[in-house]
Amino acid sequence: MVRPPLGGFCAPGFAGVRTAFARNFTAHGDLGAAVTVLRDGVPVVDLWGGHADAARTRRWERDTLVNVYSTSKGMTALCAHLLVDRGELDLDAPVAQYWPEFARGGKAALPVRWLLSHRAGLIAPRAPLPLPAAYDHDRVCAALAATEPWWEPGTAQGYHAVTFGYLVAEVVRRITGRTAGAFLRTEIAGPLGARVLLGTPPAEHPHCADMVGQLDARLLAARHPGFPCPPLPSLAAHPLAAAALSLLSVPTGDVNSPAYRAAEIPAGNVHASAHGLATVYAALGGGTLVSPGTLAAMRRPQGRPGEPDLAMGPLAPPGTEVRWGLGYHLNTLGRAGPNPRAFGHGGAGGSYAFTDPENGLAYAYVMNRYGGGTTGDDPRHTGLVAAVYEAVGAQR
């Protein structure tokens, strides 16, 4: 077996993470990947390896960028929380207070909080949008502003796989006059020196890894026979109707194309390095981005214990409990380690990033071979996390 080139370092006591990372290539099919762990803001793991393309002509480097799918949502949500922390955004105010056109379709009283907690009932426009509409922020937002919710807002949760980003980013834009990508760059990633980009400029495209395999209707049909495609008249039309509407109604096209990389699709096309994501989460958990009160609110459960997720639930492994904070996965199943108060977000394909403030940890794993899903059940990620906490436990 040819072992891929690996680079980076592990601090004393964290050699088990290197072993788990190498195993991902030899046993779990990784092509190119990186993992970074910061403890109290200091890197203790910073590893990368493999290749950035299917032909294995480009090595994965420390600064390689890759599409992280829904791991992007944690970055877009953070833009909103900075505005909350500054007193510019009230999560309990109606969205229409900031975005007047949003009041149509019976949404005049819908609060911002429900956008962040996947409770708005806006998993899709009522009519599917064609490509290249996904690259046209104004067009998608106009469609969502005109849409009547698919369920009574606030009464249920359902993963807004693509629309989450447009909804939250438009509130950010209405308040600041800047897109979420510009706000992320100037207020968060830039000051931290983090390689985290929403709307990746052409000059950075040579540093982007190609995704091998991508989320699309064919993959969903292969994994879930009978998976429907929009349009669908109602959530009752098919057991997977909510999932189909959430995932496919705003198609995003080829994720390796220049158009996709340059666009701002705030729920799903942040391009980042593992070190960049971990740097942002370390600053968040370490209290340098938001106040303690805002940090506590971000990871407070927004739904009822055991409440099903209308969109993600039918696709998740049996026994999975999907619980949302304000834009983040709550650590209900230990996929972000043993601390139930750790929180972050995963992405289709297998990437995952989180912060564990009580243990002073920030973690990010990114990769370019499409594997597990947003719920964080990919063995590549779970093996790495287990090794991280084994090291932490041994040092106590």
pLDDT digits (tens, 9 = 90+) for 297-348: 999 999 998 899 999 988 887 777 889 999 999 998 788 999 999 999 999 9
Q: Report CA torsion sign: 208, 326, 328, 194.
A: positive
Q: How many domains does the chain have?
A: 1
Cα-Cα-Cα-Cα torsion 166, 172, 173, 174, nearest 10 degrees, comes to 110
Active-site option among 70, 117, 273, 351: 70
CATH code of 177's domain: 3.40.710.10
pLDDT for res 316: 81
Beta strands 361-367 and 352-356, pairing class:
antiparallel
Query: Range of 386's domain?
Result: 1-396
70 is catalytic: yes
The per-residue pLDDT for range 92-147, each reduced to its tens digit, is 999 999 999 999 999 999 999 999 999 999 999 999 999 999 999 999 999 999 99
State the SS3 of the chain. Answer: CCCCCEEEEECCCCHHHHHHHHHHHHHCCCCEEEEEEEECCEEEEEEEEEECCCCCCCECCCCCEEECHHHHHHHHHHHHHHHHHCCCCCCCCEHHHHCHHHHHHHCCCCEHHHHHCCCCCCCCCCCCCCCCHHHCHHHHHHHHHCCCCCCCCCCCECCCCCHHHHHHHHHHHHHHCCCHHHHHHHHHHHHHCCCEECCCCHHHHHHECCCECCCCHHHHHHHCCCCCCCCCCCHHHCCCHHHHHHHHCCCCCCCCCHHHHHCCCCCCCCEECHHHHHHHHHHHHCCCCCCHHHHHHHCCCCCCCCCCECCCHHHCCCCCCCCECCCCEECCCCECECCCCCEEEECCCCCEEEEEHHHCEEEEEEECECCCCCCCCCHHHHHHHHHHHHHHHHCC
In the predicted model, residues of the chain with pLDDT beneath 70 are 1-2, 375, 396
pLDDT of residue 217: 84
Respond yes or no on whether the N-terminal peptide bond of residue 231 is cis (omega within 30° of 0). yes
**pLDDT reported for residue 2:** 60
**Among candidate residues 257, 109, 270, the one with its CA nearest the CA of residue 194:** 270
Q: Is 115 exposed, middle or buried (0-12, 13-18, 19+ CB in 10 A)?
A: buried
